[in-house]
Structure 1
């Protein structure tokens, strides 16, 4: 398990580097990120808080373009994710493990995203997501670009 960095830690503002090679270090880091997300979900369940559904590598101090998301009941690892297409508008409450706010923040995001990424097996995939799953992936990709959810309310 890895410690989750909290705002205003400067590491959260770094633009993450692409993963060039999927080696043992990346696989191990991914396993640690998944374990951290699962542990945090369990803690938040017992504390009756919103259950986290995603975690980006920079949130645990790893400045790489790697995210882990719970989508349709399954853990999805996305390496070097890139949004290819967006459509529509989706407004929903947005919480973040790295931003300790009293309440989740209403954020406007795209209702539809087409995202390209690599798997841990280095296979390129394209995934189409809508509404809350689309918002989740956009949130996690924001972390890869040094953007936090609170940046949207400061605009």
Structure 2
């Protein structure tokens, strides 16, 4: 591998660190809600007592309710899926890169490019699995809430509000 290729890969890696640091908190719903609550909270603190401040307080309360729902017990399973799929993708890509390709490769440059390719594929598979798992968990939660409301309706009692 040439020094130029190593320098380019280092520059790309350093740039990706900055991009991931900026995009990471905005990628998830929790991060977006926290950022919005933070911005609106600063605006709420700066406003004098008025109708607009009261309306902004109601909006902040609604956002906090959404954040609490996102951090509810059902989301614990989503977080577990997120952590374990990422870990499994990392372990699988390390196994492929360190065990399979070094004996079969002829140059260090091909190992670098192969590692990049395997890491990209493993990351994409991890993201797809995570998104599907979140969708399935959300569907199951919605189904359980619907069943609970139907049961409460049949029994003549007031269903719990979600």
TM-score tier, shorter chain, comes to: under 0.3
Return the TM-score normalized by structure 2.
0.23
Is the radius of gyration larger for structure 1 or structure 2? 2
TM-score, normalised relative to structure 1? 0.24
Q: Which has the higher helix share?
A: 2
Higher relative contact order (CA 8 A, sep 6+): 1
